[in-house]
Chain A
Amino acid sequence: MSNLFRFARVVPRLTPRLVQTPVFQPARLTPITLATRFYSAEKAPLTPQQVEDRVLQLLRDFDKVDASKLNLDAHFINDLGLDSLDQVEITMALEDEFNIEIPDRDAEEIMTPRQASEKIFANKNAM
């Protein structure tokens, strides 16, 4: 029993030390790492074109979408043959892709890639 307790005390002592390690690292940063940080700080805002491209790419990767029928104004249900459950999955995937949250009532109105792109572009948090 006492052995067990000794082990349990070791773990919390180790954890803070592990967490602290990254704190010391900036001093040892290589130029390459610095360049990466600089780049991310200067990241340009999304352009409508970029948003559209990424939306279309995401749909192309969706297993049920026929890529040959895909265009900006293709209606998910009428043109692409998807159903309402697929539409929910697509809007959830868009949230993941652009790191945003689309309110339910907004999400259910998204029926074409163009509508999706407009909603995402209007969201200032999209990245």
Chain B
Amino acid sequence: MTIRRTGLQRDVLDLYRSLLRVVRTKPESSRDHFYKYIRSQFRQDASSVSQRDISTIEFMLRKGRRQLEVLKSDSVVDISPPSY
């Protein structure tokens, strides 16, 4: 099974996975909000940037990792779901 992934792609997917794992630690009633939020942020960012625009993707990655640290806090129990 060949995986044609660059390091950057892997970093993005690892961040996505880590964020989704954090959602499991949140109260069941708000998990769907977190899930929708994370999902829509990734979709939105992915469609707004070219695959070759590495510096922007790296910036988004740093932003996402900071958000991951914030979301990990136990005091974060809910999030307002995205308004499409």
Residues of A within 8 A of B (CB): 84-85, 88-89, 91-92, 96, 104, 107-109, 111, 115
Specify the main secondary structure of chain B where it touches its partner: helix
Residues of B within 8 A of A (CB): 1, 3, 5, 9-10, 13-14, 16-17, 20-21, 24, 39, 42-43, 46
Specify the main secondary structure of chain A where it touches its partner: helix
> Which residues from A are CB-within-8-Å of B43?
85
Cα distance A108–B14 when bound, in Å? Answer: 9
Offer 20 A-B interface pairs, CB within 8 angstroms, sorted by A: A84-B5, A84-B9, A85-B13, A85-B16, A85-B39, A85-B42, A85-B46, A89-B20, A92-B20, A92-B21, A96-B24, A104-B14, A107-B17, A108-B3, A108-B5, A108-B10, A108-B13, A109-B3, A111-B1, A115-B1
B17 contacts A104, C-beta separation under 8 Å? yes
**Number of residue pairs A-B, CB distance < 8 angstroms:** 31
Apart from the given pairs A85-B16, A88-B13, 19 other A-B contacts in the complex at a CB distance below 8 Å: A84-B5, A85-B13, A85-B39, A85-B42, A85-B43, A88-B16, A88-B20, A89-B20, A89-B39, A92-B17, A92-B21, A96-B24, A104-B17, A107-B17, A108-B10, A108-B13, A109-B1, A111-B1, A115-B1
